[in-house]
């Protein structure tokens, strides 16, 4: 019954944000997919994602973060052990993966503080800071390394970021 109520609520919220507030359907769906437990926070996420979508670098950001989300979804859908998002810095060897880990360590406390205060516009702003490191990672690192420990560590590094991004929006739902 709870699932049916949540589905109904999600449909009503999507309708409200698209019909009454004029937000794009995909923007509404992506932001609402991050959670509806707190409808006020969900509304602020929709507004922040809509504002983010009007920025000139939006398409590149969506491409990057959608790629990240798709990799994690594909891996978790393959019945592999659940990714925890905990990675070991000792196993990181490539410059780009070390840079991504350093950037995550740098922004994580700010992300968490902004999250606690529902400061979604600033949270989306953090994406601009981390995107170059993610792009470099994808350009320079083979995620699916032959070594199981290296591969799992890289996937957990990506999961560490994907877990936070999933609080803001479902980037897989966005089209560019």
> Residue 47: which H helix or E strand, with range?
helix 39-53
Write down the pLDDT at residue 3: 82
Q: Do the beta carbons of residue 58 and residue 39 sit within 8 Å?
A: no
Distance CA 125, CA 52 (A): 8
Provide the pLDDT for residue 36.
87
Q: Which pLDDT value is given to residue 80?
A: 53
CA 47 to CA 64: how far, in whole Å? 21
- Residue 51: its pLDDT value, please? 97
Residues 57 and 127: beta-carbon distance below 8 Å: no
pLDDT at position 81 is: 59
The structure tokens 């009503």 sit at: 12
What pLDDT tens digit does each residue of the chain (176 aa) get?
A: 888 888 888 888 888 999 989 999 999 999 999 988 899 999 999 999 999 999 999 999 999 999 999 998 888 665 455 788 899 999 999 999 999 999 999 999 999 999 999 999 999 999 999 999 999 999 999 999 999 999 999 999 999 999 999 999 999 999 88
Q: Taking the chain, what is the end-to-end CA distance rounded to the nearest angstrom?
A: 35
pTM for the full model? 0.88
Read off the DSSP letter of residue 144.
S
What are the distances in angstroms from CA 139 to CA 70, 81, 88, 133? 16, 26, 21, 10
Coil/strand/helix, residue 107 = helix
């Amino acid at each position: 019954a709870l699932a049916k109520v949540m589905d109904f609520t999600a449909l009503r919220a999507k309708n409200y944000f698209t019909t009454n507030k004029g937000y794009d359907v995909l923007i509404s769906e992506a932001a609402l997919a991050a959670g509806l437990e707190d409808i006020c926070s969900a509304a602020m996420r929709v507004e922040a994602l809509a504002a983010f979508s009007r920025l000139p670098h939006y398409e590149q950001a969506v491409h990057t973060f959608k790629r990240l989300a798709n990799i994690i979804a594909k891996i978790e859908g393959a019945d592999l052990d659940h990714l925890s998002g905990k990675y070991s810095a000792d196993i990181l060897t490539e410059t780009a993966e070390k840079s991504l880990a350093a950037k995550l360590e740098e922004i994580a406390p700010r992300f968490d503080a902004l999250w606690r205060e529902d400061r979604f516009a600033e949270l989306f702003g953090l994406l601009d800071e981390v995107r170059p490191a993610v792009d470099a990672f994808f350009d320079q690192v083979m995620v699916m390394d032959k070594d199981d420990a290296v591969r799992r560590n890289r996937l957990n590094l990506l999961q560490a970021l994907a877990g936070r991004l999933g609080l803001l929006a479902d980037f897989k739902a966005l089209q560019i």
